[in-house]
């Protein structure tokens, strides 16, 4: 029996959830990083509005991921 098999199932489930959450948060941060780069080079109002919507969506997404933990 390996160490992984000896761990309680609840530990394995928690580890899997944390691993999935980490991946999901990293994925949500990609558009946030892109928006930050775009905002360093101000463009038109339409671009700024689009960036704001992206940030709002990704913040909600990250909060939801954290709530599910």
The pLDDT tens digits for 21-56 are: 999 999 999 999 999 888 888 778 888 899 999 999
The reported pLDDT for the residue numbered 56 is 95
Residue 63 located in a structural domain: yes
Residue 2 located in a structural domain: no
Give the C-alpha distances (Å, rounded to integers) separating 60 from 9, 11, 26, 43, 57. 30, 27, 14, 25, 5
Residue whose structure tokens are 């780069």 = 37
Residue 49 located in a structural domain: yes
Residue 3 located in a structural domain: no
On whether the pTM is more than 0.85, the answer is no
Residue 1 located in a structural domain: no
Number of domains, the chain: 1
Residue whose structure tokens are 């709530």 = 67
Residue 14 located in a structural domain: yes
Residue 47 located in a structural domain: yes
Domain span at residue 51?
Answer: 8-68
Residue 54 located in a structural domain: yes
Other CB atoms within 10 A of residue 51 CB: 19
């Amino acid at each position: 029996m390996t160490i992984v098999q000896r761990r309680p199932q609840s530990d394995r489930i928690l580890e899997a959830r944390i691993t999935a959450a980490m991946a999901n948060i990293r994925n949500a941060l990609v558009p946030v990083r892109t928006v930050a780069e775009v905002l360093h080079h101000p463009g038109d109002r339409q671009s700024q509005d689009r960036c704001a919507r992206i940030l709002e969506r990704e913040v909600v997404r990250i909060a939801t991921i954290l709530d599910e933990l």
